[in-house]
Amino acid sequence: MSVLPPGSTIGILGGGQLGRMLAMAAARLGLKCHIYSDTSGPAFDVAAKSTVGAYEDLAAVRRFAEGVDVVTYEFENVPCETARAAEAVTPVRPGVKALEVAQDRLVEKQFIAALGIPVAPFADIDSDASLASAAATLGLPAILKTRRLGYDGKGQVRLASTTGLTTARSEIHGAPAILEGMVGFEIEISVLVVRGIDGEMCFYDVPHNTHAHGILDTSSVPAPISACARARAEEMAGRIAAALGYVGVLAVEMFYCGETAPEPLIINEIAPRVHNSGHWTTDACAVSQFENHIRAVAGWPLGATTRHSDAVMTNLIGADVEAWQRLAAEPAAGLHLYGKHEPRPGRKMGHITRLKTKSQG
């Protein structure tokens, strides 16, 4: 088991805000980061070194990997071939397996279900006939989701009645898909689990997540769920992390359906990386999700996930960021701006975490 001493370099595939916050956390521990991304992004401003290169340019990826001590990634759509090319040269943490599972909704659902963990009812859709028969079996309403490259509600069609069936597949350009039965949930939560190189795991408090226009709007801790539900959610997330042989922070998004539901917790999806619903940890915890991801991939002991305050993290999307002066003047709030120039609609520009005195254990 290799522990990277301070001064070592962590390679990060992806140059967005998650890479930026990872690089900032690494710097706190005396570790350097080298960012590799197909476009210059927010992480480039804060990293010791940055490279712009195509993810498909495997020779360039190998050169990048040769110059770093470990490679990690900050988005789940890193091509598996890219991660494999890096892995031939230096350790990649979390591994390629987590990417393979998270990139394909069908594989992801099958993987989680095979662990005996509840997921929404689903069917593989590759033709109009398979859609019609899945709609009859699962019932409507249901959601058609592309297997690959869907995020923030993109690549999804909600089917309320059979009249939508004829056009649904053309709306996703006939891409391979799954049909998912609707889950009647009370709230959405996520578990942020950190798994160390030795298999040790720790968990952050579970946030309650709300969405607006398909994009995460707020994450609040503590979520209004019982200690028993929280323990069960952690156990499920931990089982997934262990089955993936995971190293780093894994986010497991779940539907909470209420204590008396037949299945109180149903997994929606996993994100093999630090996650937007864990941004509050920077301001409300002893050690943030970003630092713990870095600690894990560098082979260090994991840091305390203890939460010292209640917190509500609100994303600043598009023009929200124009209120930065007012937001910066708020007491008891941590403001985080990603340094993006154009506040386009739907673009994550920053976030603010408002802290309150801790209400419960």
> Which chain residues interact with ligand AMP by CB under 6 A?
120, 143, 145, 150, 153, 180, 182-183, 188, 211, 214, 268-269
Q: How, if at all, do strands 9-13 and 70-73 pair?
A: parallel
Nearer CB in complex with ligand AMP: 274/297: 274
Helix, strand, or coil (residue 283): helix
Q: How far is the CB of 62 from ligand AMP (least distance, A)?
A: 33
Look up residue 311 and give its two tokens.
């917190």
Answer left, alpha or beta for residue 332, where phi above 0 means left and psi between -120 and 50 means alpha.
left
Report the Cα 119 to chain-centroid distance in Å. 17
Token pair 């002893």: residue:
286
Q: How far is the CB of 353 from ligand AMP (least distance, A)?
A: 21
**Cα 326 to Cα 218, 226, 346, 350, distances in angstroms:** 19, 36, 21, 14
Nearer CB in complex with ligand AMP: 98/189: 189
Q: How far is the CB of 180 from ligand AMP (least distance, A)?
A: 4
Q: How far is the CB of 152 from ligand AMP (least distance, A)?
A: 7
Q: How far is the CB of 190 from ligand AMP (least distance, A)?
A: 10
Q: Using CA atoms in the order 162, 165, 167, 169, what is the torsion angle rounded to 10 degrees?
A: 160
Provide CB contacts within 8 A for 331, sequence distance 6+.
none
Nearer CB in complex with ligand AMP: 28/211: 211
The stretches of the chain forming alpha helices (DSSP H) are 17-28, 58-66, 80-87, 96-102, 105-114, 128-138, 165-171, 227-243, 281-284, 289-297, 324-328
Q: How far is the CB of 67 from ligand AMP (least distance, A)?
A: 35
- Tell me which residue of 26, 338, 20 sits closest to 37, measured CA to CA: 20
Nearer CB in complex with ligand AMP: 171/200: 171
Nearer CB in complex with ligand AMP: 37/268: 268
Nearer CB in complex with ligand AMP: 150/176: 150
